[in-house]
Amino acid sequence: MNVAIQGIRGSFHEIAAMQFFGSDIAFTECMSFTEIPVLLKNEKVDCAVMAIENSIAGAILPNYALIDEYNLSIEGEVFLNIHHHLMALPGQNLEDIKEVWSHPMAILQCRKFFRAHPNIKLIEEKDTAEIALRIQKEKLKGIAAIASKSAAELFNLDVIEDDIQTIKNNSTRFFILKKERENSTKFTNNKASLKFITKHETGSLAEILDLFAKHEISLTKIQSLPIIDKQWHYAFFVDFLYEDQVLYQNALHLIQKKVAHLKILGEYQQNTLQL
């Protein structure tokens, strides 16, 4: 199986992919999220792993838009506890570090650590693990990366500060994506992701949420996203848990009649946080 990931080997996307699929997989490395849906649509990869939200930084809204635009199917999810480590060439310590290069999300999640070290210049880059690799290949002294322990081991760097993330229980949710959704419903599924656009009427969103509750469906996330060609109109992306397939299908049938647009983004099994 060939899996597209954002970043390179040693990235958190690789760790999430191996947690979901196991170690017997091949990877296609992407430096940006926008490459991933194109690879799926052109059948260059079998599936992909894409970060969708972080417990500190919140939702990654452009990724919701990519999934919707390319009509990708959500086939599963992975929750991964994120441990950020500061790493550099062997023999260096924190006092030697003049700059830290990393993904803006990683920098954001470690802002308290760097407030205590204002002498360190922060440089935004595309991928955490790729910076670790570059430091090793180019023998960059005075430069450190924020990345996983896996990246430090893979690229022979020394970890000079452990767990520098501001919130120690810092987790990221990843979607497992495929080109298109299978028609058959698996009875082991207990979670779904939907997109809907309400009718422009008072109380329409509340009415939809009430239908979920009446059908014993537990809403776990709701996220609004602007509709590009309609100013101040929004689509809603929701995740929810259900136990009864019949109640779930009945709820979908009723919601379909009450919204302007409804799309099933995926039906899958709930995943739990891995520490």
- Is the pLDDT at 275 greater than 50? The verdict is no
Enzyme catalytic residues: 172, 174
219 φ/ψ angles, rounded to the nearest 5 degrees: -75, 125
pLDDT number for residue 228: 86
Q: What is the pLDDT of residue 273?
A: 63
Which CATH class, in words, describes the domain spanning 191-274? Answer: alpha beta
In the chain, alpha helices (H): 12-21, 35-41, 61-69, 104-109, 111-115, 128-138, 149-154, 204-214, 245-258
Q: Can you give the residue ranges of every domain in the chain?
A: 2-81+171-178, 85-161, 191-274
- The rounded distance, in Å, linking the Cα atoms of 31 and 131 is 12
Say how far apart CA 111 and CA 108 lie, in whole Å. 5
Q: Which CATH number does 85-161 carry?
A: 3.40.190.10
Q: What is the pLDDT of residues 43-88, one digit of tens each?
A: 999 999 999 999 988 999 999 999 999 999 999 999 999 999 999 9
The reported pLDDT for the residue numbered 181 is: 78
Q: What is the pLDDT of residue 109?
A: 92
Of 140, 158, 148, nearest in space to 87 by CA:
158
Residue given tokens 């329409």 in the structure block: 204
3-state helix, strand, coil in the chain (%, to 5): 30, 35, 35
Query: What residue spans of 85-184 are helical by DSSP H?
Result: 104-109, 111-115, 128-138, 149-154
70: which 2 tokens?
């390319």
In the chain, the percentage of residues whose pLDDT exceeds 90 is: 88
State pLDDT tens for residues 194-250: 999 998 888 999 999 999 999 999 999 999 999 988 888 899 999 999 999 999 999
Q: List Cα–Cα distances, 239 to 26, 85, 117, 159, 166, in angstroms.
A: 29, 31, 39, 37, 27
Contact 49, 5 (CB under 8 A): yes
C-beta separation of 117 from 72 below 8 A: no
Comparing 2-81+171-178 with 85-161, is the CATH topology the same? yes
Q: Strand 158-161's sheet: what is its strand order?
A: 121-124, 99-102, 143-147, 85-88, 158-161
User: Does CATH place domain 2-81+171-178 in 1.10.260.40?
Assistant: no
